[in-house]
Amino acid sequence: MAGEGVARRTQAERRGRSEEALLDAAAVLIAERGVEGASLARIGGRAGLSRGLPTHHFGSKDTLVARLARRAQERIAAGFLDTLADEARTLADLTGLELVYMTVDSYLQLFEDPSDDVRALIVMWGSTFPARSSVEGMIDAERRSYVGLSEVIADGQRDGSIRADLEPDAAAVLVLGMMRGVAALLLTDSEITDMRRVRRTCRDMINQALEARP
């Protein structure tokens, strides 16, 4: 029985490594070629695995895209928490307004030297633009970002750091739109301006728009 348990763990570990390799390959291909140019077979080949393995593991490209988007979001969140830990702070130490600042700033900081995951996330976001787009996994990922940001803004209203007259959902759309738009511009032309100035200006604009006034 013990041998069977070890065998199952080993099989699960192999599957996990294969899936991570496929997600890594998908991030590279999507960043290079877009979602349409990253077929499941091509992803399997880029990973150095069977061209049919992505279908075996994920079933469809939309499921793979959804997993890749969730992984990218989780890595971004982990990086944010690492930044807080380096400053000896926790989420509980932040006001809602500070959390909005840090969310935007840590996200934009990623584009100073974007990883394949980060590049792919923006490319996948763009893939939802066409009217006949069927990238449901990415649409769900964007909805998670929007809902989470709206909740942070509502928390800021409750702790008094964010204006009470704002509609959290509408404010979340505007802040998320600024984040995505700036990121897309930086990917297409990284030399457009000094990134530190962009981040500082974003903070000033968020402060002007959201901060509660006496």
Q: Give the residue numbers spanning the domain of 147.
A: 68-210
125 vs 141: CA distance, rounded Å: 9
* Token reading at 191: 């030399």
Kindly tell me the number of DSSP H helices and DSSP E strands found in the chain: 9, 0
Handedness of CA 107, 110, 114, 117 (dihedral sign): negative
Domain boundary among 13, 31, 59: 59
What does 34-71 look like in DSSP terms, one character per residue? TTTT--HHHHHHHTTS-TTHHHHHHSSHHHHHHHHHHH
Q: What residues contact 107, with CB distance under 8 A and at least 6 apart?
A: 76, 179, 183
55 and 74 co-located in one domain = no
Confidence band of 4 (pLDDT split at 50, 70, 90): low
106 and 193 co-located in one domain = yes
Which CATH number covers residue 34?
Answer: 1.10.10
**E strand or H helix that includes residue 6:** helix 2-33
Q: What is the pLDDT of residues 179-203, one digit of tens each?
A: 999 888 888 876 777 788 888 999 9
30 vs 1: CA distance, rounded Å: 43
49 and 154 co-located in one domain = no
Q: What is the pLDDT of residues 74-126, one digit of tens each?
A: 888 888 888 888 888 888 899 999 999 999 998 888 888 888 998 998 888 88
Domain boundary among 35, 59, 83: 59
* Spatial CA neighbour of 145 closest among 73, 48, 194: 73
141 and 198 co-located in one domain = yes
72 and 53 co-located in one domain = no
200 and 162 co-located in one domain = yes
Tell me the percentage of the chain whose pLDDT exceeds 90.
Answer: 40
Backbone angles phi, psi at 119, to 5 degrees: -60, -45
Q: Across residues 148-161, what is the average pLDDT? A: 96
How much is the pLDDT for 134?
60
96 and 184 co-located in one domain = yes
175 and 83 co-located in one domain = yes
DSSP letter assigned to residue 162: B
**pTM score:** 0.83
Domain boundary among 10, 36, 59: 59
124 and 97 co-located in one domain = yes
Q: What is the pLDDT of residues 24-47, one digit of tens each?
A: 999 999 999 988 888 999 999 999
Give 21's Cβ-side CA count (13 Å radius): 18
45 and 107 co-located in one domain = no
Mean pLDDT estimate for the chain: 87
72 and 138 co-located in one domain = yes
How much is the pLDDT for 139?
79
159 and 78 co-located in one domain = yes
Number of domains in the chain: 2
Which CATH number covers residue 116?
Answer: 1.10.357.10
Q: What is the pLDDT of residues 119-147, one digit of tens each?
A: 998 888 888 777 665 667 777 888 889 99
65 vs 9: CA distance, rounded Å: 26
